[in-house]
């Protein structure tokens, strides 16, 4: 196999990628995710950890206090990020509708040590970011006030409640999202795109009927095939390294970037070679993409059931807890790449012979 021919085909395919709008849009999407990763962290982590959003917002929010005076007023005034304005309920609600306030708390006339339950009423804005922030900040204040009321009315309890021993908070609200999802997603996405790209590059030779012209040149079908594979593979380390660099600009440090890029490149080589085999067999873009995508979903689901799956391994590498065992995994993947490369070469030669004889 002539390496010069392989390099020429790879350069040709790389120049042609500038006309692939789908690939360019996918790359731009990854750039957006990597560049604005800090912004995405705040937005996405707030879905499962609203307190993270409250800690990220440093502005003060106005709260209208209406009703009877109680110890809750002092707690609200002492809370960080809140400005309390005592006023009538009707005036407070009008200010809330005009968005001059972010919330209104109405306290009934029931004394803290009274017989009746203390029923507070909270008014907030609907479908607004301020509403989410206020719910978190007021939750802490109202929870402390509830504990105070329980202490005042503790003599009415007939049974002693069991104490709850909750585990201490971990204090790393972004850790799981960044290193468990964001880094593996950005690193492995180029591998999936490269696998989809190799299918297009191979099937278009059949659909555009350019295979006859290709075989008429000094470049063999096997060399052309490896050139297309090389063009797809060279994009993966470039993209993965760029994404990790952009994450670093966002203040997200990755412990082992070189090892992560090596694993991403090895995984992409497996996917690209599998995509090439599927393309050689079906020779039609829609069928090949459907079969490959379906098989990829099944393979990923099975891989995620294994403790040492690629997502878990990259997450552990990004925090520096993978150990030296990841080199053995990399060696195993490299052996699989060599095996798939040998199978693809043999299959490509048989396809080329059948095409020439036919």
What digits encode the pLDDT tens for the residues 55-100?
Answer: 555 567 889 999 888 888 888 888 887 889 999 999 999 998 888 8
| C-beta neighbour count of 190 within 10 angstroms | 28
Is the pLDDT at 228 greater than 90? The verdict is no
The secondary element (H helix, E strand) that includes residue 124 is strand 121-124
Distance CA(358)–CA(349), nearest Å, equals 14
pLDDT the model gives residue 339: 93
Distance CA(22)–CA(295), nearest Å, equals 21
Edge to edge, the sheet with strand 121-124 lists 82-86, 61-67, 103-107, 121-124
Tens digit of each residue's pLDDT (9 = 90 or more) over 247-266: 787 777 888 888 999 988 99
Contact by Cβ (8 Å): 177, 45: yes
Query: At what angle are helices 221-249 and 257-282 packed, to 10 degrees?
Result: 140
Residue with structure tokens 């992409």? 268
Percent of the chain with pLDDT over 70: 77
Average pLDDT over residues 306-315: 79
* Pair of tokens at residue 193: 């795109």
> Shortest CA distance to 196 belongs to which of 299, 266, 278?
278
Structural domain boundaries in the chain: 3-44+173-357, 51-153
Contact by Cβ (8 Å): 265, 237: yes
Least confident among 115-119, 299-303, 344-348 = 299-303
Tens digit of each residue's pLDDT (9 = 90 or more) over 93-131: 999 888 888 889 998 888 887 778 888 898 888 766 667
CATH topology of domain 51-153: abc type-2 transporter like fold (3.40.1710)
User: Which of 55-59, 136-140, 293-297, 340-344 tops mean pLDDT?
Assistant: 340-344
Q: What is the pTM of this model?
A: 0.62
In terms of Cβ atoms closer than 10 Å to its own Cβ (0-12, 13-18, 19+), residue 42 is middle
- Tell me the pLDDT band of 198, cut-offs 50, 70 and 90: confident
Query: At what angle are helices 183-207 and 257-282 packed, to 10 degrees?
Result: 30
Is the pLDDT at 49 greater than 70? The verdict is no
Is the pLDDT at 164 greater than 60? The verdict is yes
Mean pLDDT of the chain: 78
Average pLDDT over residues 142-154: 85
Which residues, other chains included, contact 322 with Cβ-Cβ below 8 Å and sequence gap of 6+? 256, 259, 313, 316
* Pair of tokens at residue 320: 């520096």
pLDDT the model gives residue 314: 87
């Amino acid at each position: 196999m002539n390496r010069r021919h392989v390099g020429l085909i790879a350069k040709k395919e790389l120049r042609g990628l500038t006309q692939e709008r789908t690939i360019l849009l996918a790359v731009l999407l990854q750039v957006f995710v990597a560049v604005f990763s800090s912004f995405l962290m705040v937005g996405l982590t707030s879905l499962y950890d609203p307190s993270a959003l409250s800690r990220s917002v440093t502005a003060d929010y106005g709260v209208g206090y209406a009703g009877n005076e109680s110890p809750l007023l002092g707690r609200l005034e002492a809370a960080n990020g809140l400005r309390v304005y005592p006023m009538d309920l009707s005036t407070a609600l009008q200010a809330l509708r005009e968005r001059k306030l972010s919330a209104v708390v109405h306290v009934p006339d029931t004394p803290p040590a009274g017989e009746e339950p203390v029923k507070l009423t909270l008014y907030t804005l609907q479908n607004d970011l301020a509403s989410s922030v206020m719910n978190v900040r007021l939750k802490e204040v109202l929870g402390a006030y509830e504990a105070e009321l329980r202490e005042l009315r503790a003599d009415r309890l007939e049974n002693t409640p069991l104490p709850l021993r909750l585990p201490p908070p971990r204090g790393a609200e972004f850790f799981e999202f960044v290193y468990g999802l964001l880094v593996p997603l950005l690193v492995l996405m180029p591998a999936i795109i490269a696998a989809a790209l190799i299918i297009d590059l191979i099937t278009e030779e059949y659909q555009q009927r350019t295979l006859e012209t290709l075989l008429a040149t000094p470049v063999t079908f096997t060399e052309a095939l490896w050139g297309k594979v090389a063009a797809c593979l060279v994009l993966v380390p470039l993209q993965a390294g760029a994404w990790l660099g952009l994450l670093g600009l966002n203040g997200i440090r990755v412990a082992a970037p070189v090892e992560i890029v090596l694993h991403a490149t090895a995984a992409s080589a497996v996917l690209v070679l599998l995509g090439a085999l599927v393309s050689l067999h079906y020779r039609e873009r829609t069928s090949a993409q459907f079969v490959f995508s379906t098989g990829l979903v099944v393979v990923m689901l099975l891989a995620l059931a294994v403790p040492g799956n690629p997502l878990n391994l990259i997450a552990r590498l990004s925090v520096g807890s993978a150990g030296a065992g990841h080199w053995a995994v990399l060696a195993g993947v490299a052996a699989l790449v060599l095996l798939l490369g040998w199978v693809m070469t043999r299959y490509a030669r048989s396809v080329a012979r059948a095409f020439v004889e036919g």
